[in-house]
């Protein structure tokens, strides 16, 4: 009797050179009033046309409890490291899409961001995008902490991402 090993499918991942900043247009946060899912969106038609989108005023909107608040700030806060939960850079509210692992916190600004992180982690074959053709060195994938990229942590990280997805459906 012989054993048959299932052929491994090679998943290719090509870094689309997304930066985390590209996901700042729609951030999912925990509503400070009802603790369900709220959006932090760019205020459209905002004054000061010279403002870069990154610094455009943002509005927090919760469709569950009706909370809205607006903030214009040139001081954005991006906490470093993964030892604590992540907050949105505009209002400082906890991100909705995050979970703690024994290595640290895994987080995403919105579902598209989470999907990109998942496709990177799930891929067994990773192709690094050449940064020199855009001058964009700090792609999203390059900014992921080392423990997220380790193959030995892959299953654990994928399970954590699935937990985050579940919380998205629940909220």
Distance CA 58, CA 72 (A): 6
| 65 counts as binding Zn ion under rule CB under 5 A | yes
Nearest distance in Å: CB 30, Zn ion: 9
Distance CA 12, CA 120 (A): 9
Question: Could you say which of 24, 62, 114, 148 contacts Zn ion (CB under 5 A)?
Answer: 62
Confirm if 162 and 168 have CB atoms less than 8 A apart: no
Q: What is the dihedral of CA 104, 28, 165, 169, to 10 degrees?
A: 140
Picking from 111, 107, 65, 114, the residue whose alpha carbon sits closest to that of residue 89 is 107
Site string for Zn ion, 134-153 (x = CB under 5 A): --------------------
| 63 counts as binding Zn ion under rule CB under 5 A | no
Distance CA 112, CA 119 (A): 11
Residues near Zn ion (CB under 5 A), total:
7
Question: Could you say which of 13, 25, 33, 76 contacts Zn ion (CB under 5 A)?
Answer: 33
| 31 counts as binding Zn ion under rule CB under 5 A | yes
| 69 counts as binding Zn ion under rule CB under 5 A | no
Which positions touch Zn ion (CB under 5 A)? 31, 33-34, 62, 64-65, 67
């Amino acid at each position: 009797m012989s054993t048959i090993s299932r052929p491994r499918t090679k998943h290719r991942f090509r870094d689309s050179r997304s930066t985390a900043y590209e996901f700042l247009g729609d951030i999912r946060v925990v509503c400070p009033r009802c603790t369900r899912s709220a959006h932090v969106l760019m205020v459209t038609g905002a004054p000061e046309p010279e403002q870069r989108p990154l610094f455009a005023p943002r509005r927090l909107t919760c469709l569950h409890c009706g909370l809205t608040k607006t903030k214009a700030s040139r001081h954005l806060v991006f906490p470093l490291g993964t030892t604590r939960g992540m907050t949105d850079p505009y209002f400082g509210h906890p991100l909705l899409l995050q979970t703690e692992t024994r290595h640290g916190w895994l987080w995403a600004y919105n579902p598209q961001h989470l999907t990109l992180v998942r496709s990177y982690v799930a891929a067994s074959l990773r192709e690094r995008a050449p940064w020199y053709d855009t001058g964009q060195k700090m792609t999203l994938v390059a900014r992921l902490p080392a423990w997220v990229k380790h193959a030995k942590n892959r299953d654990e990280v994928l399970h954590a991402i699935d937990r985050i997805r579940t919380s998205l459906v629940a909220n």
